[in-house]
Amino acid sequence: MNERIEANATLTEQGEEFARNIAEATELSQQIWLRLMQGQMDNETSQETDPLHIAPSFSELLRVLFDNPQQIADATLQYWQAQAALMQQTTLKWLGGGDVAEVKLPHMASAGKRFEHKQWQENALFEFVKQSYLLASGSVQDAVHSVGDMAPKERRKVDFYTRQFLEAMNPANFFALNPEVLEATAAQKGENLVRGLKMMLEDVERGKGKLLIRQTDMHAFEVGRDVAITPGSVIWQSDVLQLIQYAPGTEKVHATPVLFIPPWINKYYILDLNPKKSLVKWLVEQGHTVFMISWVNPDERQKGETWDSYMQAASAAIDKVLAETGAAQVNLASYCIGGTLTGTLLALLNKGGDKRVGSATFFTSQLDFEDAGDLQVFVDEQTVQLVDGQMEKGYLPASAMANAFNMLRSNDLIWSYMVNNYMLGKEPFPFDLLYWNADSTAMPAHVHHFYLEQFYTRNNFAKGVLVVQDAPVLLADINVPVYHVASKEDHIAPAHSVFRGAQMMVNADVRFVLAGSGHIAGVVNPPSSGKYQHWTNADMSADGLEGWLAGAVETPGSWWGDWDAWLAALAGTTVDARQPGAKLGIIEPAPGAFVKARFDAN
């Protein structure tokens, strides 16, 4: 009798604890909702009802669907036949008839990592929910992707935003449909929801009324302590950049130094992430004198900066590198949008007979934007005008670019964290790459407008009508040796697009290399990791990337060694190692003040 009384008391206590946690979770939800509504009012800068200019693309899709009734009827029939088969098989399993047979899913259906919990496979109800979702979402994506004829850019736009909607509707995102969340809530008596909603409220407050999803422990890293730690010094700076010179890693170094021109869309230390992954550290250990541009994180003080002034700043950095080292030339290395700037600068210099640059390396850098990947869905004449409105202070807020990049991989970078952080109540794992990803930068207004308009919207460089510093420039103006790296799975700078830009350098000696993996992992892939592979082919005359790849040689592992061999052949004789700032002096230790400036929610 006493044991029964104690058991009942325990159940009562647990029930009361569960009720308290649910009540607290409800109160937190109300606070979050009110703060989000307040933030919406505080941050409202436009009455635009379609800020991403989606409606015209979906209107065109509707026209295409109405014009192709037979395709829609066939697709609808296939869908309902598959749903009927799924229901029949699920009913048999509920009645003890064994496992649910796999229903043939549409081409574009993908389960991904979101359904890894065992209940999605073992529980008949959750398995039906999963399979039904995959069937429906895959059918919608297939229809949107294939029915009728649409302009490629319009098709890409409706594909992208349809995928965003369907990923948001994933049953794993909903409390009552996610077995892992239900299991955790029962086991923890709702404490996971309290922890998670407290985190959400903190993230809304940090975002000043916008939800800034934490993807890692932002307190676990510090720039200069845990990331960006290769020894060096800031030896010169201007209003828009600091120039870092790294300490040598060998007693002798190649005569010609290397200057990195990184992107300013995010911070340079992706190339100096940690000692094991640092391209900078590896390069100095190969005997190179390495310099790095660290772009300013702009605010109102950079309101007047332009693409031309950024080119002039990079050119001034070249002068400082040559003055510091006494070298006659510098080998440039660039990444992403830094490569786009480098391409325009190099074309201008080469056209004018300037010989300061001995070679140029481009990492996942687009120069032809005809088919510029998923980011292109955000850019047309109307959205450029809207972005201009967001830059009234002279810069684009850091959160704007961060949100765009997160949307490119929303399942991984948005929805998985919504569940992990706010439903399961788990702190995200400390991860240096995600810390870098969250260390967002603002964009100088005129520079960003020029980039969107001249490259993404009009593709003027590839068309031969781009004007910089009052001079027309062509990709054919580039006439120095070029090393061009693309990544096979890159969704930001697609490999086929990068290849076309490389082919347009008809007067340059181009070595094109295709790396395995994507925009980041394809570049940040040290030889010691033994990951991925790369392809090489000296023949650049192929009709497109697939033709080039058909004649390419595949080599396991990183391309870094191949690049070093190419670079060393252009780097001259060896000289005594150079200490940072021996001629220009030292302003401060690396990584410098510019890279440490943070704008979490500007």
Are 189 and 14 in contact, with CB atoms under 8 Å apart? Answer: yes
Kindly list the catalytic residues.
336
Of 499, 257, 484, nearest to 358 by C-alpha is 257
Report how far apart the first and last C-alpha atoms of the chain are (Å, whole number).
Answer: 64
Tokens of 349: 């210099």
How far is the C-alpha of 483 from the C-alpha of 490, rounded, in Å? 18
Secondary structure class of 395 (helix, strand, coil): strand
How far is the C-alpha of 440 from the C-alpha of 267, rounded, in Å? 8
Are 241 and 293 in contact, with CB atoms under 8 Å apart? Answer: yes
Secondary structure class of 237 (helix, strand, coil): strand
Counting every residue written for the chain, the total comes to 602
Pairing of strands 466-468, 471-473: antiparallel
Pairing of strands 466-468, 443-444: unpaired
Q: Which amino acid is at 147?
A: V
Tokens of 335: 């990444």
Are 541 and 515 in contact, with CB atoms under 8 Å apart? Answer: no
How far is the C-alpha of 540 from the C-alpha of 55, rounded, in Å? 40
Name residues whose C-beta falls within 8 Å of residue 405's C-beta, 6 or more positions apart in sequence: 413, 437, 492
Burial 109-132 (b: 16+ CB within 10 A, else e): beeeebbebebbeeebebbbbbbb
